[in-house]
A and B are shown apart, each in its own frame.
Chain A
């Protein structure tokens, strides 16, 4: 945020803060390692408050749980902001010295009274007020979020809404106060940092708007860089549909099962002229490929680095030779370049790292030796922070030093916009998706071992809905959305309220959940609205003779 995509705080600060707001995050199940830090904070006496439509496993542990309607996050945030402003609990000094756009923002939330907030989010006004006051009055507080915020058609606005709260209360750029997206994998952060996103070069340097950076890369690489944002994943599928994208080189992704509206995605992949897949295992996407490059395992069959949610770059070391014909990713790519007539030679991971940090200012002083010495280094690591930085945006507090402060943090006016897939008489229930503790994404990594916790895919319903539908636990039902229909057995849980259903997407071989989810996506981030699907549940006809 504010130019760099990463959480602002360290895990250490999570343990030391006074209030942790987990917003759209079931961290206890989906980010169990991160949650250990939360547990330490709780042990120390920190409060935990959870915003989630479900009373998730995390919410069970929370001092306060707010069960909002799916997709009403902006309404909640704006209501909290108005309450904080009216109670005069905002951080006036920080607003004046470290931010811009406050007046416009304050005006935009003015009509979000607690009553209206309750109407839109369905959370009782007193609970909204309690969260707002707790957040604003805490000495240190952080908001942490996950896909409950980002898997919406207005994902970026959702994130901006949370950032607004941090700016309003001065809970950013200080030790123990911050704004933190939690990453689902050990190196999601690293992928973005290295420029594996359509609009940025390594170190979050913009392709379109930063000609200086572009020139630097062009000089180093000896090629012209086209100042044009690339396509993100959803764009790519659209481009396939238009016939503009005809060849695909897929590295370590499995879009054939993980994309929303899956049948459609598979159909588009089938229509490609060329599909190359580089992966550890024979995924469903790999099965469709023209060429498959078997790759080594990034965690123990190759050298390199990973970067976690707290921006900490850590070394990965090779412990095993990859089996059979599997090869290191770098070697495969370099060989491909070789065949394409570009002589990249056989670069070592450290050589590539050093080249990258000659171009990415925030990695400039982060040598492998330093990473080794400190056991991991948090970016930025430059002349100002030669040992790395625990938390980001400390600069915003340098009110008297305009140069050191740099660009002030802008408030953003964000407008409440309900999910695209509207509820109707035909599709009266809201389905949201998420993860379970023992399973991981599409099950490629977690589906092959047996666990007593694996109970396969289910449609989770509230006791009230199950009884209204006349269905029992384990009974298979049909789930119909505007895009398709699937069947799954019923599981009943009090974590859900009437009208709200839940599924995972861990078992695509059993139940292809993403057949019915909505491919509507956020134009700014490209993330699909997995979290909000309108469905109806149908009891199957009783088999004859029963």
Chain B
């Protein structure tokens, strides 16, 4: 017989879905149920929220809990199991009530993260499980931890040491997420006046709508409603705003394509599943200026003709989630969301969804599947999201940073916006400076700044050490050496020079860094995060990591040159034949390290 849910598990599910209405969806069997039933509406999209509720309340997802969720949602248990096992934050086996994820990814591992994992495991804290984690998006406060504490709120903490972990663990722990203050420009009287995207950081209270409005908030939406949808899109197009999520697609073109679709409903989505190692700018925006995300997505909805917006925020971002939820509630209360936004006859609301620990869900089509309650596996493109996005409907999906740029476009006008930056890269850009820099954090610079200038603005290499390498664009980006500090950080220069800005990652490694260890960590990351759907990526990421390990151990198949050639072949296959960007870029950092620094060549520095 199928396992039954506990009372607590029932309550967790019912809290999301409401109490069951009939005997056919988990309630008591009534006389009427014996004679009449109705197909429940398709609620599969609520699977992830329900799994979150079970995980958070009970600490794991039991067979009984999953069965009850399936009964309520009418999702086949095998499918729900496939979804539950897809995400790192969920466990389908019973485990410790407290699980501490300690980041040992790039920026953290060079600042004690890897040692902290070992130390925490050795401490053998009762009732606590320590898990080495991929990048938690708090690189500016490395090393970082993220603790899941069943029955209690999750916490993400930076500058972590053993005392931090010990403080977060106890039942009566009062530790809460600390707000990041890691945008040094915003606290510097000299640089603050030049800030646009970060202008409200440290100035406006992120928790009150009134303060947001006092600092220029909701002027862009008012202007957009005045202009009308068409002209709004035109301004965004004229401003030549390009997407900041990594693909640099023109935002105006995307909105126009969705607006032109005859199909309804349409959706706009804010992709806040920031998971690229080394990236944390979107988190800071959501934590320190959450209303800007709400306002910008509302404008997107108005322009594209959508009545529903969704923010898909990374699961490991509890503070960002909390503040966005608060911002949404206040906006709704003030009539800035709802059936008649600002009395303009425009109906729009925003739903907040949480990821659950899967890098791949930052890929737009994987994100759709995740929202729909499926495994977060990317879809083949075409069809593209603008015609077949969420629930197969036209969808405009934009990164957080891209969206808040729209506020700039509408408040300063497209000409003034386009005058910023360069011809091919208008406006300002956020860069995530981490690793061995003096003042890590998010920096806003006008497009056109060089890599060297960006590092200098963050105080240069820490302690004046010589620079060894910079990882540009994230794990899916590539390494550049100290000889290339003059490269300009614009879309057009990157394209011409064969490097990528990705999500604005500038991770600095000093002379003492073990680059081989960094490459192994990157390979492990992609092997772990590959969704397994397509063969080139599923197999290729494993083969890449294996070959690297053989090279490190000096147990190569054939010569070193043979192994390097194999790595090159695997890289080419993944790049050419993978379904999505994850597989296509899974070898780029490793390949660039080999090409730039001659890793594994005899006599090469490592």
Contacts and interface: CB of A to CB of B under 8 A. Distances in A.
Contacts of B38: 62-65
Interface stretch (B29-37, B487-495, B524-532): B29-37
A59 B40 CA distance: 12
A65 B36 contact: yes
Interface residues of B, number: 11
Contact of A66 (B1, B29, B35, B39): B35
A497 interface: yes
Interface string A284-323: 0000000000000000000000000000000000000000
Binding site of A, secondary structure by majority: helix, strand, loop or mixed?
A: loop
Nearest to B38: A64
A291 to B, nearest CB: 50
B23 interface: yes
A59 B34 contact: no
A65 to B, nearest CB: 5
Interface in B1-53: 1, 23-24, 29, 32, 34-39
A106 interface: no
- Specify the main secondary structure of chain B where it touches its partner: mixed
Given A473-B1, A494-B23, A494-B29, A67 B39 contact: no
A123 B31 CA distance: 11
A413 interface: no
Interface in A61-77: 61-68
Interface string B366-378: 0000000000000
Contact of B39 (A63, A123, A497): A63
A62 B35 contact: no
Interface in B306-330: none
A43 B39 CA distance: 14
A359 interface: no
Contacts of B36: 64-67, 123-124, 127
A361 B239 CA distance: 73
A124 B32 contact: yes
A61 B35 contact: no
Interface string A497-521: 1100000000000000000000000
A282 interface: no
A251 interface: no
B29 A62 contact: no
A59 B32 contact: no
Contact of B35 (A48, A473, A494, A497): A497
Contacts of B35: 66-68, 122-124, 127, 497
A62 B32 CA distance: 16
Interface in A151-194: none
Contacts of B1: 473
B37 A497 contact: no
A497 B33 CA distance: 9
Contacts of B34: 67, 497-498
Interface string B382-419: 00000000000000000000000000000000000000
Contacts of B32: 124
B500 to A, nearest CB: 40
A448 B604 CA distance: 67
Contacts of A214: none
Interface in A83-130: 122-124, 127
A497 B30 CA distance: 11
Nearest to B23: A494
B39 A55 contact: no
Interface string A34-76: 0000000000000010000001000111111111100000000
A64 B32 CA distance: 13
A409 to B, nearest CB: 32
A48 B38 CA distance: 10
Nearest to A497: B34
B337 to A, nearest CB: 29
Nearest to B29: A494
Contacts of A60: 37, 39
A243 B11 CA distance: 70
B285 to A, nearest CB: 39
A122 B39 CA distance: 20
Nearest to B74: A60
Interface in B140-180: none
B37 A65 contact: yes
Contacts of A124: 32, 35-36
A123 B39 CA distance: 17
Centre residue among A48, A66, A67, A498 by max chain B CB count within 10 A: A67
A112 B106 CA distance: 77
B415 to A, nearest CB: 47
Nearest to A64: B38
Given A124-B32, A494-B29, A62 B37 contact: yes
Instruction: Report the 4 A-B pairs with minimum CB-CB distance, sorted nearest first.
Output: A497-B34, A67-B35, A65-B37, A127-B36
30 contacts: A55-B24, A55-B37, A59-B37, A61-B39, A62-B37, A62-B38, A63-B38, A63-B39, A64-B36, A64-B38, A64-B39, A65-B36, A65-B37, A65-B38, A66-B35, A66-B36, A67-B34, A67-B35, A67-B37, A68-B35, A122-B35, A124-B32, A124-B35, A124-B36, A127-B35, A127-B36, A473-B1, A494-B29, A497-B34, A497-B35
Interface of B: 1, 23-24, 29, 32, 34-39
Given A61-B39, A64-B37, A67-B35, 8 more contacts: A64-B39, A65-B37, A66-B35, A67-B34, A67-B36, A67-B37, A127-B36, A497-B35
